[in-house]
């Protein structure tokens, strides 16, 4: 179905496509796999974000897997227990299961829908995990002051899933700069797109080197010369000029220069993309905040969201609103990822995770479109449909 108001729209413009085609046709030696443009792209992203190192990869899901595996291979973990959020995408949690961590699910916060602060403290006291995974849910930053205090107190590694929050900031500090490592996604419809793609960003040189190796076969080929020489010396391997030395059991999650070309062009307009999404989110909040439960944040916070999410009063009301939105050609979907503990991959292994807020997100949440090309009158119309739907449903209930 083609919607008049799709949930997401492509940030790759006609000018981007034409520039890419011209570059492809004019390149004298077309080898478009990972090359110098990828490295330029990584540096450009690091400079924009404000982190020392960024390692690109083929998706945000792969970025999450790389973060977990880099920690595991670093031998710096005190244990394999990891607290994971109930409100998350499946591949925020799946790598923990795949790599043999012991995931412990945390309830959703009432305000931000990220890790519930009271429940998190209880889990930290009870389990003393080596790792905590945070999702900056739908672009709304969590209360990072509280979380960083807990990090300092309990000494866990923080993995920050910022895949849907690039461009958001908490009290002047950009999302993606809080965790020991942070993942981002440049999937279609996200803040900017390389069609498929992702990053892991960090300030830790050792973790960055591990990520570089794991991203590409586990070999030394893409390490800086000094680190590469040190790695060969460590394993007593003579340097005869070959890069086919595999120090880690790695993957092939490489990005291509084709995607890097697209990404660098969009980074040139990243500030505009952030501004447009933030304006849209604030307007949604203004128009719907009194009728629905929505995420809360203060005026020192910038929200750059991929969708706006609201909570209906109950499951039946949510489904009625979705039906009315669809009737007006407004794309929406229920927030079933609001509680991963109700998904079969989780409850088949660990039992169903049930808590008041996570369950409410799962049963009552619905998404509304947000992308840079929405106009003020588009959002006003979308909100009028959602508002009329909830009014009609409640009248019928009486």
Q: Specify whether the backbone of 176 is left (phi greater than 0), alpha (psi in -120 to 50) or beta.
A: left
| Span 190-206, pLDDT tens digits | 999 999 999 999 999 99
User: CB count, 10 Å around CB of 145?
Assistant: 9
List the domain boundaries for the chain: 14-267, 271-397
Report how far residue 164's alpha carbon sits from residue 25's, in angstroms, rounded to the nearest whole number.
34
Whole-angstrom Cα distance, residue 56 to residue 46?
11
* CB neighbour list of residue 384: distance below 8 Å, 6 or more residues apart: none
Alpha-helix residue ranges (DSSP H) falling in the chain: 14-26, 36-49, 60-74, 90-98, 117-127, 144-154, 205-215, 225-234, 257-267, 270-288, 315-327, 344-350, 356-364, 376-397
User: Are the C-beta atoms of residues 315 and 364 closer than 8 Å to each other?
Assistant: yes
User: At a CB cut-off of 8 Å and minimum separation 6, what does 265 contact?
Assistant: 15, 16, 19
Q: What is residue 178's DSSP assignment? A: S
Number of Cβ within 10 Å of residue 207's Cβ equals 23
What is the C-alpha to C-alpha distance for residues 248 and 50, in angstroms, rounded to an integer? 28
Round to whole Å and give the CA distance between 161 and 179.
9
Is 154 in a helix, a strand, or coil? helix
Instruction: Look at strands 131-135 and 181-185 and give their pairing.
Output: unpaired
Tokens standing for 275?
Answer: 């501004």
Using CA atoms, how far apart are residues 103 and 79, in angstroms rounded to an integer?
11
Residue ranges, the chain, pLDDT below 50? none
pLDDT for residue 1 = 80
pLDDT tens, residue by residue, 252-285: 999 999 999 999 999 999 999 999 999 999 999 9
Rounded Cα distance, 232 and 220, in Å: 8
In words, the CATH class of domain 14-267 is: alpha beta
CATH topology of domain 271-397: 3.90.1150
Which of 183, 177, 21 shows the shortest CA–CA distance to 94? 183
């Amino acid at each position: 179905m083609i919607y008049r108001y799709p949930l997401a729209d492509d940030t790759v413009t006609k000018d981007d496509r034409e520039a890419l085609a011209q570059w492809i046709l004019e390149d004298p030696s077309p080898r478009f796999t990972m090359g110098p443009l990828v490295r330029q792209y990584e540096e450009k992203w690091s400079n924009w974000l404000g982190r020392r190192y960024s390692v690109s990869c083929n998706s945000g899901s792969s970025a999450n897997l790389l973060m977990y595996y880099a920690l595991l291979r670093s031998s710096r973990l005190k244990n394999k227990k990891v607290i994971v959020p109930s409100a998350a995408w499946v591949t925020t949690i799946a790598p923990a299961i795949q790599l043999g961590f012991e995931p412990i699910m945390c309830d959703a916060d009432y305000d931000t829908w990220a890790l519930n602060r009271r429940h998190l403290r209880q889990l930290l006291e009870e389990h003393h995990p080596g790792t905590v995974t945070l999702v900056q849910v739908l672009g709304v930053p969590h209360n990072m002051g509280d979380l960083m205090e807990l990090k300092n107190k309990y000494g866990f590694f923080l993995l920050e899933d910022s895949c849907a929050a690039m461009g958001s900031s908490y009290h002047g500090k950009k999302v993606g700069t809080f965790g020991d490592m942070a993942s981002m996604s440049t999937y279609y419809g996200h803040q900017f797109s390389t069609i498929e793609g992702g990053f892991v960003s960090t300030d830790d040189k050792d973790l960055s080197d591990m990520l570089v190796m794991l991203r590409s076969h586990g070999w030394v080929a893409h390490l800086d010369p000094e680190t590469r020489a040190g790695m060969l010396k460590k394993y007593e391997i003579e340097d005869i000029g070959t890069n086919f030395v595999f120090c880690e059991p790695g993957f092939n999650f490489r990005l291509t220069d084709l995607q890097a070309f697209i990404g660098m062009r969009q980074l040139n307009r990243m500030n505009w993309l952030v501004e447009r999404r933030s304006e849209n989110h604030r307007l949604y909040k203004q128009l719907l905040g009194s009728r629905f439960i929505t995420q809360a944040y203060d005026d020192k916070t910038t929200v750059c969201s991929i969708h706006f999410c609201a909570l209906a009063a109950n499951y039946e009301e949510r489904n009625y609103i979705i039906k009315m939105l669809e009737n007006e050609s407004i794309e929406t979907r229920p927030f079933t990822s609001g509680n991963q503990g109700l998904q079969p991959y989780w409850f088949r292994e660990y039992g169903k995770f049930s808590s008041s807020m996570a369950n409410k997100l799962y049963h009552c949440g619905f998404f509304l479109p947000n992308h840079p090309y929405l106009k003020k009158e588009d959002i006003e119309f979308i909100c009028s449909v959602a508002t009329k739907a909830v009014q009609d449903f409640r009248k019928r209930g009486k």
